[in-house]
Amino acid sequence: MASRLLLIAFFVASCSLALASDPSPLQDFCVADPNSAVLVNGVACKDPNLVQANDFLFRGLQVMGDTSNDVGSNVTVVTVAQLPGLNTFGISMARIDFAPDGINPPHTHPRATEILAVIKGSIEVGFVTSNTENRLLTKVLEIGDVFVFPQGLIHFQRNVGHDHALAIAALSSQNPGAITIADAVFGSNPDINGDILAKAFQVDKNIIYQIQSKF
């Protein structure tokens, strides 16, 4: 009886894990067809007879991104939008370039876990656990170090070296999404009511308006 209950519990847990990721492919490939009028959870498949090698190719990840912006970083993403052959495979990647003291601001990926490898420089990383603990787990990574950010949790990276830094990230979704906290909260369209944000952040409403004006 105990073994049967254990087997059922394992089956339920396995089903839960399966449902928590991108759909598994049921054929060799399903190259995304962005022009399809069919609405699905993902992207409809291109006619297999029209598929070419270029559908599985992305060029340009060797090019450094422009970090001359307010945060001093640039993310070059390779998702299903840039590489149609990724469709249904549940993976994507990104190149992240950092100017000295540049940051990849606190953000989340609602549909993916992220694993990051440092290629150049020293990068401080961290993520915050969910409510109510809100525990910060942080580490300074050097070349060759790898760090993982759990799906949906707020995380960040910062270049703590004296030169440009570079990291490569892989994500467990063809379309992981990204919610940059500051942009979402202070740069929403239309603006979130200042009274709400003033109470949430426990500051004067004029400070909220000042921050919103920057987004």
Known binding residues: 104, 107, 109, 114, 155
Q: Where do we find the tokens 């839960």?
A: 16
The annotation places the binding site for oxalate at: 104, 109, 114
For the chain, the residue count is 215
How far, in Å, are 130, 182, 188, 203, 214 from residue 196 at the CA level?
21, 15, 13, 11, 18
> Residues 6 or more apart from 135 whose CB is under 8 A from it?
128, 129
Residue 148 CB contacts under 8 Å (≥ 6 apart), including other chains: 113, 114, 115, 116
Q: Which residues are annotated as a binding site for Mn(2+)?
A: 107, 109, 114, 155
Contact 91, 158 (CB under 8 A): no
